[in-house]
Amino acid sequence: MEQIFANNIKRLRKNADLTQEELARAIGMSAQSVSKWECGVSQT
């Protein structure tokens, strides 16, 4: 399940032509959090 979440976040971010930092700023999170989500390390 975590890998599906990671793949979806990465795919959707790239389809929107956003960097991890741009996505993080848009949702009020850190770029490190987005990176962890995309790697499947953390979902929170």
Give the single-character DSSP code of 40.
T
pLDDT score recorded for residue 42:
66
Question: Which of these, 5, 10, 6, lies nearest to 20 by C-alpha position?
Answer: 10
pLDDT at 43: 52
Indicate the pTM of the whole model. 0.82
Query: Whole-angstrom Cα distance, residue 10 to residue 3?
Result: 11
Residues 15-44: pLDDT tens digits? 999 999 999 999 999 999 999 999 998 655
Name the residue with tokens 């700023």.
Answer: 25
Tokens, residue 17: 């032509």
